[in-house]
Amino acid sequence: MKPYATDPAASRGRRFAEAPSATRDAFQRDRDRIVHCSAFRRLRDKTQVFVAPDGDHFRVRLTHSLEVAQIARAVARALGLNEDLTEACALAHDLGHPPFGHSGEDALEAAMAPFGGFDHNAQTVRIVTRLEQRYPGFDGLNLSWETIEGLAKHNGPVVAPTWALSEADTGFPLDLATWPGLEAQVAAAADDIAYDNHDLDDGLRAGLFTIDDVVAVPFVADCWAAVTARFPGVAARRRLVPELVREQIGRMVDDLLATSRARIAAVAPSSVADVRAAGHALIGFSDGMAASAGALKHFLRTRMYTHPEVARLRDPAVEIVAGLFAAFDADPDRLPPRWQATLPAAEPERARHVGDFIAGMTDRYALREYARVIGPSPMPGY
């Protein structure tokens, strides 16, 4: 590894001391704990863009997280960084998402506004530091400092932490005002690469738009021209779409590597401390690729995320999440016994406890709970 990579042997440790493993270093253990935790398994039934009942071929939070981890690990290897820490940050980055994607998050944020609000990044940290209860000696997963730092700051320094992140920071200070190590920065860039390209793939599969529509984006048009020139005998466009996605991901990764290497060389860090002190991200796209990625995001926002077939599920999703919060907040006796047993007596902790319960739900479990507690579901088909 490069001298500016994060060395597990030099980790700042865990909040609760544990004996070292004979077979795995600190970050390998973190990755394994994430993969084995309940919150990670629940990602298989949490919406990425399409609500789970809309089709078995579309991505969900779990498959997205695995795709992010694959891209992130490849980039980390090419840059000489710690692959295991990078993978741990990538696998865990979406653990805090509530059911029904951004619609569910908007509804939960609005419901919890009087109690400090809700943020899925902070909720991820809350899950790994407190809510997972798989070990008898402590709450949370007791991950290494560097892994928790990466989850808290993978989008950069946090200057105004929410209550959940402040709580975690108080218990185990995370230096929130500084940039994270390069491994977390790589995980964040891989997230962008994965969801831009795979959402494009899902949108084409769903018929929300066509290749003729999306080639209005110059970057996509250039990649499509390269693909069709490479396979002139393939007439079926659907056979070329996966190759288009590969072409786009490859170009983005190549640009990310070239730009990041140049930024690293300009700063010449000799340690992770130098990376944190750089004052800006060292992992990122060139200006040209950033503009191309921005244009693709704009297309997806206008032609996919707000498409009538996607938008028609937004109001029902908001109604379900808001309805569940209101019902459990008004009458906590409706909570499952384990959640009743640990219900705090005072606000805002009491409402935050209800928020934790709802945020952990899968789409399908939220639908079942709504039917149990409130009545017929507003979700089409349920």
| Dihedral angle computed from the Cα positions of residues 330, 332, 334 and 335, in that order, rounded to the nearest 10 degrees | 130
| Residue 337 in domain | no
Longest dimension (CA), the chain: 69
pLDDT for 54: 56
User: Residues 160, 29: one domain?
Assistant: yes
Domain that holds residue 275: 192-311
CATH of the domain at 100: 1.10.3210.10
Q: Calculate ∠ Cα 111-117-119, nearest 5°.
A: 110
| Separation between Cα atoms, residue 283 and residue 147, nearest integer Å | 17
Q: Nearest to residue 48, comparing CAs of 355, 379, 305?
A: 305
380 band by pLDDT with thresholds 50, 70 and 90: confident
Q: What share of the chain is helix, strand, coil (3-state, %, to 5)?
A: 65, 0, 35
pLDDT for 274: 97
DSSP 8-state code for residue 43: G
30-83 pLDDT, tens digit each? 999 999 999 999 999 998 876 654 566 788 999 999 999 999 999 999 999 999
φ, ψ at 135 (rounded to 5°): -125, 135
Mean pLDDT of the chain: 95
User: Residues 204, 119: one domain?
Assistant: no
pLDDT for 21: 96
313 band by pLDDT with thresholds 50, 70 and 90: confident
Per the CB < 8 A criterion, the answer to whether 253 and 192 are in contact is no
pLDDT for 275: 97
Q: For 14, left (φ over 0), alpha (ψ -120 to 50), or beta?
A: beta
How many other CB atoms are there within 10 angstroms of residue 364's CB atom? Answer: 15
How many other CB atoms are there within 10 angstroms of residue 172's CB atom? Answer: 19
User: Residues 212, 249: one domain?
Assistant: yes
| Residue 138 in domain | yes
| Separation between Cα atoms, residue 369 and residue 360, nearest integer Å | 12
Give the total number of structural domains in the chain: 2
Across 15-19, 236-240, 359-363, least confident range? 236-240
| Separation between Cα atoms, residue 70 and residue 366, nearest integer Å | 30
Residue 132 has pLDDT above 70, yes or no: yes
| Residue 59 in domain | yes
Residue 337 has pLDDT above 70, yes or no: yes
380: cis peptide before it, omega within 30°? no
**Domain end residue (candidates: 260, 277, 311):** 311
Return the percentage of the chain with pLDDT > 70, whole number.
98
72-104 pLDDT, tens digit each? 999 999 999 999 999 999 999 999 999 999 999
DSSP 8-state code for residue 131: I
